[in-house]
């Protein structure tokens, strides 16, 4: 679900040294609360710049600075030591190595779920996931489409690593790679997902798997520096309230949301609207469900499933418990006595 996620990528050292000049600042707040957040260029994270543009953070007395950076190798070291305060990423990517039980990171929020923006294109003779057994699958190892394929094969009794020939590629090359007749399926995201089906010379190709078929498996979360969060919980409560208010705006007035969001990504509102077709922004009510306020946490089920997949794909040394990675307590009563 990452139509472009590479802007402002830089070395870890350069990121720390130049962050101040790269961050996009919200209007100055009267209070001194500040959150610096680095995250990929992805429309799913648009509630953050919308909350900035609408003044939701400013109303809370919170200043937010943001920068696009897709490279975990850049972002995680800065987040661990507190040079930045937050990032956003799919929970499956977040769980992968080098995350460990003693990492100074914690998930405190959800922001969007892929409901069709990620997927796998299958060749004309590939009609179900088990048809991939013994054939070539092309994709990045931690791509959502790869994760979905491994999950579906596991449910069908197959081992992704043993029963499929995996060809590692850069997702940006998916269209060209799929033209190779040896490739039975390729993992990609929108708009490339639909474009490959429409334009490939391999007529009869189709979307084999879509994130619409997986209940929350590809969920984007808000990840923060644990030390700063534990010392300044209310600062992060302000941040999450702003994000969920921006989601409310999308649900009540999507045209206004797109008007505010699009300039941040240097696209038109119409372009952004088209690419958001496979994205579901999670409201505060959704967050209550994901974090299990008054019920079993949906996010725990997602993490449990991803633990098995990521270990099988050698993306993790061992499974990590939900309780180790997540603090659901910020969500309960988040808007009590506050503006929504």
Q: Which domains does the chain have, with CATH numbers?
A: 12-115+216-330 (3.40.190.10), 118-213 (3.40.190.10)
- Whether residue 130 contacts residue 153, with contact meaning beta carbons closer than 8 Å, is answered with yes
**C-alpha dist (Å) from residue 160 to 80, 153, 175, 189, 251:** 32, 6, 22, 20, 38
Q: Measured at the alpha carbon of residue 121, what is the angle toward residues 115 and 127, in degrees to the nearest 5?
A: 100
**Contact in structure between 126 and 188 (CB atoms under 8 Å):** no
| Closest to 117 (Cα-Cα) out of 4, 25, 203 | 4
In this structure, the strands spanning 219-225 and 136-139 are unpaired
Query: What confidence score (pLDDT) does residue 84 get?
Result: 97
pLDDT of 312:
86
- Name the token pair of 85: 């305060």
Q: What is the pLDDT along the chain (340 residues), one digit of tens a residue?
A: 444 433 333 333 334 434 444 566 655 544 469 999 999 999 999 999 999 999 999 999 999 999 999 888 889 999 999 999 999 999 999 999 999 999 999 999 999 999 999 999 999 999 999 999 999 999 998 899 999 999 899 999 999 999 999 999 999 899 999 999 999 999 999 889 999 999 999 999 999 999 998 878 899 999 999 999 999 999 999 999 999 999 999 999 999 999 999 999 999 999 999 989 999 999 999 999 999 987 899 999 999 989 988 998 889 999 999 999 999 999 999 999 999 9
- 324 exposed, middle or buried (CB, 10 Å; 0-12, 13-18, 19+)? middle
Closest by alpha carbon to 43, among 8, 1, 10? 1
């Amino acid at each position: 679900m990452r139509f472009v996620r590479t802007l402002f990528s830089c070395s870890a050292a350069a990121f720390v040294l130049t962050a101040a000049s790269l961050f996009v600042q919200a209007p100055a707040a009267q209070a001194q609360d500040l959150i610096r957040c680095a995250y990929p260029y992805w429309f799913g994270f648009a509630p953050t710049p919308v909350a900035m543009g609408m003044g939701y953070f400013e109303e809370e007395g919170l200043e937010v600075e943001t920068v696009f950076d897709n490279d975990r190798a850049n972002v995680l070291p800065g987040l661990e030591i507190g040079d930045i305060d937050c990032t956003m990423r799919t929970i499956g990517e977040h769980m992968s190595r080098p995350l460990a039980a003693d990492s100074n990171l914690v998930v405190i929020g959800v922001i969007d779920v892929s409901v069709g923006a990620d997927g796998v294109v299958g060749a004309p003779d590939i009609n179900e996931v088990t048809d991939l057994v013994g054939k070539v699958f092309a994709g990045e190892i931690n791509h959502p489409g790869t994760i979905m394929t491994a999950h579906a094969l596991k449910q069908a009794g197959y081992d992704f690593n043993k029963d499929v020939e995996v060809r590692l590629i850069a997702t940006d090359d998916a269209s060209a790679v799929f033209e190779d007749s040896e490739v039975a399926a390729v993992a990609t995201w929108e708009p490339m997902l639909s474009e490959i089906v429409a334009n490939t010379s391999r007529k009869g190709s189709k979307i084999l798997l879509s994130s619409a078929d997986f209940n929350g498996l590809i969920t984007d979360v808000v990840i923060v520096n644990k030390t700063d969060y534990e010392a300044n919980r209310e600062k992060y409560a302000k941040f999450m309230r702003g994000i969920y208010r921006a989601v409310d705006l999308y649900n009540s007035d999507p045209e206004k949301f797109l008007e505010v969001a699009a300039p941040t990504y240097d696209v038109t509102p119409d372009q952004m609207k088209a690419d958001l077709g496979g994205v579901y922004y999670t409201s505060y009510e959704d967050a209550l469900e994901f974090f299990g306020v008054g019920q079993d946490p949906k996010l725990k089920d997602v993490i449990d499933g991803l633990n098995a997949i990521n270990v099988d794909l050698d993306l993790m040394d061992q499974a990590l418990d939900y309780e180790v990675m997540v603090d659901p307590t910020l969500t309960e009563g988040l808007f009590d006595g506050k503006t929504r």
